[in-house]
Structures are given as C-alpha cells and as structure tokens.
Structure 1
Amino acid sequence: MVAERAERTRLAALMLVLTTATGMIEAVSLLALGPVFTAMQTGNVLYLAFGAAVEGNLPALAPAVSLASFAAGAVCAARLESATEARGRRWFVIGLLVEGTLILAAAGAGWGVAPHYGSPTVRHLAVAAILAVAMGFRNVTSMRVNLPGVPTTLVTRSMTAFFGVRRWDRTARSGTARRRGSCGRWRCWRCSRAGWRGPCWCGPGGR
C-alpha cells in the first residue's frame, strides 16, 4: 500500500510537469504559429466554427491542420501503445519518448521561423502539425495512466476535479456521518423513553 501510494505520488508529479510543458507549447502555438491550438482541440473547433460562419476574421486553415494532426497522433498512439502493452513492454515510457522526439522535431522545424500571427506559412503549419501529433500521443498516454484529476491538457477538468468533486465528496461524507449520528441518537432516545433495558441498536442498520 505504501509503495503504491508513493508510485502514484511520483506519477502525479510527472503528470503535473507534463501539464506545465503543455501550457508552454500552447502559448507558442497560439502566439507564434496561428492562431492555433495544438493540445486543446476545443479551441480549434471554435476557430473552425467561426471560420465556417465567416465571423471574427479568424483563419480556419491552421486549426484544421492541427485538428487532423491531433486525430492522427491519437490513432497512432493508441495502436502503438496497445501493441507495446501486448508484448509486455513499458508503453508509458515509449509514449513519452515518442512525444519528446516529436517536440524536438517541431523545435528543429521551427528553428529560425519568425512568429507570425494571422497568416501562417507552410513552416508554421508544419510545426503546428508536428506539435499536434505529439499532443495526440500525450492525451492517449494520460488516458491510459488514468490518474484522476490530472488529464495534462484540460485545465477545466482538473480544476473541476480539484475544487468541485473532492470538496463535494468530503461534504457528502460528513453529511452522511451527521445523518447517521442523528439517527443513532434518535433511536437511543426512543429506547430510553420506552423503558427498554436491553441492548439498543443505534447503528445504521439498527431497528
């Protein structure tokens, strides 16, 4: 139990580091490559919707390239990690190695490219595509890890899990304990009023 808890703590720390890296990558993508998102594909869907409606003067090419690349990366990651797991190898390490290699490749492809907001060039699109493939791998890896509250690319879900679900669980547990205690005291009071001198079952299942 102690070893398992320590392993989950180390894993949570690693996932938080990956989340920080995602924020840095997303900042570069949004400010220098697009506007485009490479990890948070919900933003690209919004860009595509605005582009289809011809509203907001937002280009749709970069978001479309990123969305397609992300899907391709997720498919490749699922197949690769499933095959790796079937052979008894450490798919988590391989997933991280592939992701790191793709990020380095994107850095090499974008070396010397000037930030360009609004009308990305072919090199900007290529860098965004490689980063989106890497983020597709990242999402599959984080889903397979299945660490609650740390999806590494969805801050909204992390905040909800941290501030909402856990707090609600504590409140529900304390409320349940109070209700059980009140019921127990009520049963004891009824027993004493009735003059019952035998054992009084005050537990949750008592009568």
Structure 2
Amino acid sequence: MEPPGGIALTMIMVCLTVVTGMLDAVSFLALGHVFTATQTGNLLFLGFGIAGQGGVPVTATVVSIGAFLLGAALGARVESGLARLRRPWFPVALIVEAGVLAAAAAAAWQTGPGPGLPPGRRYAVIALMAMAMGMRNVTAMRVSAPDLTTTVETRAMTALVSGSPVGHDRRLGYGRHLGGRRVASVGAMFVGGLLGAALLGLGTRPMLVIALVAVTIAATAFMVPGLAHRGTTTED
C-alpha cells in the first residue's frame, strides 16, 4: 500500500510537522538545550560545545545525533524491506515511530516540566526521541511530499517567499498556487513548537507531551489505509 495522495497526504504531513515541533519543544526546554528532530541545530551545538562556548551540552548532542542516525538506518531497512514485499510500509513506519516515542514517554515517567531526570534516563529519553525522528525523516523522504519534510522548514520558508509575488521566481513555483501548502508547512512547525512550549509552561509533564505525540502519530497511522482507499476510489 502506497501513502495516500493529494489533500489527504498533505493533511497527514502537516499533522506530523505539528507533533515534530512539540517534540523539539520538549527536548530543548525540558531535556537540556538539545534537539531531537532538528539535527542541523545539533550539529551547530556540537561545534559550539567542542569549542567550549555557550555552555552547550556536548554529550546530549552526541547522543541525539547518534540515535537519529541509528533510527534513520533502521527506518530505511524496515521501510524498504516492506516496500519490496509490497507490504504497507507507510502506516507501519508511523506505528513503529509511535511505539518508540511511547518508550520515550515511559522512560520520562514521573518527571516534572523542568530538567530533573538522572543523566542516564535523560539520555535514554533523548535517544529514543531522536531515533523516532530519524525513522520519521526516512518516512518523509520516501513519501516525497513537496515542501513537507515534517522536520526542516528552511527550504519551505525559502520557497514560500521566493515563489510568491515578492520573489516572483517561476522556477520555485510562482503562479502555480503552491503558497497554501508552504504556509501550512511552516505554520505547522510554529504551532507545534508553540503548543509544546505552552503545555510545558502550564506544568504539563514532558512524559505526557511525548505520550500525546505518540498517540497522535498512532492514530494517524490507523487512518492511512482508509484515506488511501478513499483516494483510490476517487481516482477510479
């Protein structure tokens, strides 16, 4: 089973982008200035930390990057293997991602909204979240939904401005009505970060935010077959 197309796929990827923002809010604000999805930021943090500037935690950053790469490798193996067998790789990938995030929530059990976990458990939570995001990146790349990577918005922001009447670049989509999807992509990441930060600010424990994300991704996975079938029926 291939992922659904059109508006259904856009809605799914926008939803996944929102929860990505929520996860990075948890990792950065509650686990100690480290990202689990935005690895570009982690690469910079690692450079800052090695240089001894800014008090950036090197160990947490290395754990996140390493776990992210491991998740990407596992995701590629699982998803490509299922695709070769003509199995429904897209919903399975989302379910596995949700399961890894559920494990992260369990590892963060009974913690408050601020940094307070013992180092070992904190690194375990970071690693599990980053592993899930590594898998997600493989999923997003295999889906290849334009402007909807779910974890990086730099290209979408550039395309949004460059392909608009401001930039007027036809090669980047000017005149093709792509602005709505790009706005949705960028806005979803902002909303996710805002929502995650707001929940933590209200005293919600990180484990509950991570668990909410896991449930949302699992629910999305269970919706995929119906959306794909509906899309096929519409095309027929």
TM range (shorter): 0.7 to 0.9
In structure 1, runs of 5+ residues without a counterpart are 1-5, 175-207
1:118-146: CA deviation from partner (whole Å, max 9, x where unpaired): 99611111001000000001100000000
Match of 2:169 in 1: 168
Instruction: Please give the secondary structure, in 1, of the residue aligned with 2:36.
Output: coil
In structure 2, runs of 5+ residues without a counterpart are 176-236
Q: CA deviation at 1:43?
A: 1.0
Q: Aligned pair 1:57/2:55, yes or no?
A: yes
Match of 1:198 in 2: none
Match of 1:134 in 2: 132
Larger Rg: 1
1:17-76: CA deviation from partner (whole Å, max 9, x where unpaired): 000000000000001112110000011111110111111121100010000000000000
Distance (Å, rounded) in 2 between the aligned partners of 1:173 and 1:111: 48
TM-score for the superposition, normalised by structure 1:
0.75
1:83-108: CA deviation from partner (whole Å, max 9, x where unpaired): 10000011111111111111111111
Query: In the superposition, relative to structure 1, how do residues 173 and 145 fare at CA in structure 2: closer, same or farther (>3 Å)?
Result: closer
TM-score for the superposition, normalised by structure 2:
0.66
Structure 2: which amino acid aligns with 1:48?
A: L
**How do 1:1-207 and structure 2 match up within 5 A?**
7-117=5-115, 121-165=119-163, 167-169=168-170
Instruction: Please give the secondary structure, in 2, of the residue aligned with 1:57.
Output: coil
Of structures 1 and 2, the one with the larger relative CO (CA 8 A, separation 6+) is 2
Match of 1:180 in 2: none
Structure 1: which amino acid aligns with 2:159?
A: A
Work out whether residues 108 and 117 of structure 2, in 8 Å CA contact, stay in contact via their aligned partners in 1.
Answer: no
Distance (Å, rounded) in 2 between the aligned partners of 1:96 and 1:7: 16
Work out the number of aligned pairs and report it: 169
Percentage identity across aligned positions? 46
Structure 2: which amino acid aligns with 1:92?
A: F
Distance (Å, rounded) in 2 between the aligned partners of 1:81 and 1:89: 9
Match of 1:179 in 2: none
The alignment's C-alpha RMSD in Å is: 2.3
Query: In the superposition, relative to structure 1, how do residues 32 and 171 fare at CA in structure 2: closer, same or farther (>3 Å)?
Result: closer
